[in-house]
Amino acid sequence: MLILGIETSCDETGVALYDSEKGLLAHALFSQIDMHADYGGVVPELASRDHVRKLLPLCDQVLADAGKTRSQIEGIAYTAGPGLIGALMVGGAVAHSLAFALGVPVLGVHHMEGHLLAPMLEPEPPAFPFVALLVSGGHTQLVLVKGIGEYEMLGESVDDAAGEAFDKTAKMLGLDYPGGPRVAALAEKGTPGRYKFPRPMTDRPGLDFSFSGLKTFTLNTVTAAEKAGELDDQTRADIALAFEAAVVDTLVIKCRRALEQTHSKRLVIAGGVSANKRLRAGLEAMTDRKQAKVFYARPEFCTDNGAMIAYAGCQRLLAGQQDGDRIVSVPRWPM
């Protein structure tokens, strides 16, 4: 089955063609980051307009790259949520219109299920069941994945997501949007041990997270350094490192507990923050000690992309699921 996947939940227009027999045939992405950077964050209306501009040309591009024509598409998957409502509606409207014109089934997919299954596109995908850490700009969740659609929530953030904490820390340190990669780059120049940040909610049992206190701790540290006239480039790097180390340690501790609790030997990390090198190194060291294995998507499929939506949609379309005539756009949608 040849599936066209469409992702438009936020600030990336992603399109891909996935063949259930041959795997991923082609994918293309247009990032709106430069456009939103001037505003310090995503402007929803501008995001929707740009998806309108880019979506059909990207569809044609992946078809050309794969040597296929529109008439060969056998099913269409799009991100139905969660995300920005206007942005989601662009993807949903294009997906449903194309599907209607071609007479093929169409299905709205959960964006986080896409992230969760992105490592399945790699040459050595994890077998079910596995524990997944979803860490993006909007979510921090630990999930036991027993199969497609069989998800047991083990824990999640009670306030900010890890990516959101990275983005806010970036702002406090005067770095541009998107903050995660910039904080990580600055942290590389940091002096280990100069600042010690808390590891929130690790002193008690359980698998929930909280990152808003860490954000306040960062703000207080930045303010104190500023008052003392110490907020130079080195101090900012030292704070970035202390913040990153605290987030990474916290995530690693909770992942270790989740593996122990579920007696699992397989851990998947997905979502934008899973591109973080310190997090990958920390999880690899921890899983090595436990004779477990950590899996992740290639860096370009850690952040938003069409390939993960094509893959997730393909599995569900093959199982006979499809939308009715209604376009499904759900800005807030628990998994």
Which amino acid would we find at residue 50? Answer: D
Question: Is 180 marked within a binding site?
Answer: yes
Beta-carbon-side half-sphere exposure of residue 101 (alpha carbons within 13 Å):
10
What angle is formed at CA 167 by the lines to CA 250 and CA 295, rounded to 5 degrees?
A: 50
For residue 76, give the nearest of 322, 301, 326 by alpha carbon. 322
Segment near ligand KG4 (CB under 6 A), from 144-152, 233-241, 251-259, 266-274? Answer: 266-274
Which of 8, 32, 136, 329 binds Zn ion (CB under 5 A)? It is: 136
Number of Cα atoms under 13 Å in the Cβ half of residue 94: 27
| Interaction mask 172-201, ligand KG4, x per CB under 6 A | ------xxxx--x-----------------
Q: What is the closest distance, in whole angstroms, from the C-beta atom of residue 169 to ligand KG4 in the complex?
A: 10
Angle between the N-to-C axes of helices 233-262 and 277-289, in degrees from 0 to 180, rounded to the nearest 10: 40
43 is in an annotated binding site: no
Are 199 and 249 in contact by the 8 Å Cβ rule? The answer is yes
Q: How far apart are CA 76 and CA 99, in angstroms?
A: 7
How is residue 150 annotated by DSSP? Answer: E
Ligand-binding site membership of 111 (annotated): yes
> Per rule CB under 5 A, is residue 164 in the interface with Zn ion?
no
Q: Is 303 in the site for ligand KG4 (CB under 6 A)?
A: yes
Helices 162-172 and 212-227 meet at what angle, rounded to 10? Answer: 10
- In the chain, the DSSP E strands lie at 2-7, 12-19, 23-31, 75-81, 106-110, 130-135, 140-147, 150-156, 266-270, 293-296
Minimal distance, residue 12 CB to ligand KG4, in Å = 7
Q: Provide the Cα torsion 303, 306, 309, 311; round to 10°.
A: -110
Helix or strand run (H / E) with residue 26: strand 23-31
Which of 42/73 has CB closer to Zn ion? 42
Q: Does 304 bind Zn ion (CB under 5 A)?
A: yes
Residue 4 CB, nearest approach to ligand KG4 (Å): 21
Would you say how long the chain is, in residues? 335
Q: Indicate which of Zn ion, ligand KG4, none lies near residue 163 (CB less than 5 to 8 Å, by partner kind).
A: ligand KG4
Q: Which is nearer to ligand KG4, 88 or 273 (CB)?
A: 273
Closest CA to 283 of 257, 309, 302, 315: 257
Q: Is 88 annotated as a binding residue?
A: no
Of 75, 119, 163, 200, the one binding ligand KG4 by CB under 6 A: 163
Question: In the bound complex, what is the minimum distance in angstroms from residue 132's beta carbon to ligand KG4?
Answer: 13
Residue 218 binds ligand KG4, judged by CB under 6 A: no
Work out how close the CB of 100 gets to ligand KG4 at its nearest, in angstroms, rounded to a whole number. 28
Question: Whose Cβ is closer to ligand KG4: residue 181's or residue 262's?
Answer: 181
Task: Map residues 113-132 to x or -, x wherever contact with ligand KG4 holds by CB under 6 A.
Answer: --x-----------------
Binding site for ligand KG4 (CB under 6 A): 10, 115, 136-138, 163, 166-167, 178-181, 184, 271-273, 275-276, 303-304
